[in-house]
Amino acid sequence: MAGSTSDPTPPSNTPDWVALREDDGRAYLLDRAAGEVKVKGLGRFDTGQLLNGYSVGDRIMVGQKSLTIVDAALPEARRNMFRRAQTIGIKDSGFLISWMGIGVGSRVLEGGHGSAGLAMHLANVMGSAGTLISVENRAEHAAVGRQNMERMAEFSSEFPDWHLIEVDLSEASGKVKEICAELDAAIIDIAEPWTVVADIASALKVGGRLACYCPTTAQLEKSWNALEEEGLVVEFSGEMIERRWVKAAKGGVRPGNQPMGHTAFLIIAAKIAPEPEEEE
């Protein structure tokens, strides 16, 4: 554009994230403004000095590694996330978001928050108009999830109004209702989802959807029964099966030797209006 100038250099304390990508897809998120850091897999260095003169799209050597500088985004953040609890992966997050209609401006509850695997996917599509409430009852898990979410907020052009509530999900509905009068969607990923279905369903709008992430069939059955007892209608129950293909050594492409095994059964139910009471 005529008369435009290059972006001003941000002040040194403003986070300025990029990702360094190995050719195979492994990635490391770096903040140019962070100063001296130690990055697992890359070593210790000053980020400003290392990246000085380099831009997104350039190749850079770090020690023996040749890396491409790319924008920090969800795929890179996922590959480089801090981890503690087991996370919900891409195939299940993507399906839940699409089926449940989660998008810009949605009001969503997710718990347990764990390492924020699912929460990062949700935040990525909800825009600044969205409200995301995460619930986690273990402080050490909440701390890891918060690290991932705060970093993502710093490199995202839009990020929802995010609340991390450190309580048990069975006691969360009061606080949830203080933040949001009602929810469009809720996703439960704890060992006993059926124990909190009633409480969380009470915060859901009519037409909203509640999903449970159930690694075992016993969890699925108990959650299914609890959803129906609350008057919700099960719309989907099943699992996503991912089968990757590879290039064969002697030509051609074929399914790989390492299919992704089972992750979890997903069950999604919608809240409908209650039946009118029958007149005497």
User: Considering the rule CB under 6 A, would residue 34 count as an interface residue with ligand SAM?
Assistant: no
Least gap, CB of 163 to ligand SAM (angstroms) = 14
Show the binding pattern over residues 122-141: x = contacts ligand SAM (CB under 6 A), - = does not: -------------xxxx--x
Answer whether 119's CB lies under 8 Å from 136's CB. Answer: no
Which residues between 163 and 202 bind ligand SAM (CB under 6 A)? Answer: 168-170, 189-191
Q: Figure out which of the listed residues 76, 117, 160, 203 binds ligand SAM, where binding follows CB under 6 A.
A: 117
152, with CB counted inside 10 A (0-12, 13-18, 19+), is: buried
User: Considering the rule CB under 6 A, would residue 220 count as an interface residue with ligand SAM?
Assistant: no
Q: Strand 36-39 relative to strand 43-46: parallel, antiparallel, unpaired? A: antiparallel
Least gap, CB of 131 to ligand SAM (angstroms) = 18
Burial 261-277 (b: 16+ CB within 10 A, else e): eebbbbbbbbbeeeeee
Of 51 and 176, nearer to ligand SAM (C-beta) is 176
Of 47 and 80, nearer to ligand SAM (C-beta) is 80
User: Considering the rule CB under 6 A, would residue 118 count as an interface residue with ligand SAM?
Assistant: yes
User: Considering the rule CB under 6 A, would residue 98 count as an interface residue with ligand SAM?
Assistant: no
All residues at 6 or more sequence positions from 70 whose CB lies less than 8 Å from its CB, including other chains: 18, 19, 20, 21, 27, 56, 57, 76
- Point out the residue whose Cβ comes nearest to ligand SAM: 112
Cis peptide before 53 (omega within 30 of 0): no
User: Considering the rule CB under 6 A, would residue 152 count as an interface residue with ligand SAM?
Assistant: no
Of 65, 62, 160, 171, the C-alpha closest to 111 is: 171
Helix (H) or strand (E) holding 161: strand 161-165
Q: Per CB under 6 A, which region of 12-20, 35-43, 83-91, 201-209 contacts ligand SAM?
A: 83-91
Q: Figure out which of the listed residues 34, 39, 69, 85 binds ligand SAM, where binding follows CB under 6 A.
A: 85
All residues at 6 or more sequence positions from 176 whose CB lies less than 8 Å from its CB, including other chains: 109, 133, 135, 165, 183, 203
Q: Figure out which of the listed residues 47, 50, 97, 111 binds ligand SAM, where binding follows CB under 6 A.
A: 111
User: Considering the rule CB under 6 A, would residue 76 count as an interface residue with ligand SAM?
Assistant: no
Least gap, CB of 74 to ligand SAM (angstroms) = 13
Which residues between 222 and 251 bind ligand SAM (CB under 6 A)? Answer: none
User: Considering the rule CB under 6 A, would residue 210 count as an interface residue with ligand SAM?
Assistant: no
Contacts 24+ apart (CB under 8 A), 179-182: 179/131, 179/133, 180/107, 180/131, 180/133, 182/107, 182/208
- List interacting residues with ligand SAM (CB under 6 A): 85-88, 111-112, 114-118, 135-138, 141, 168-170, 189-191
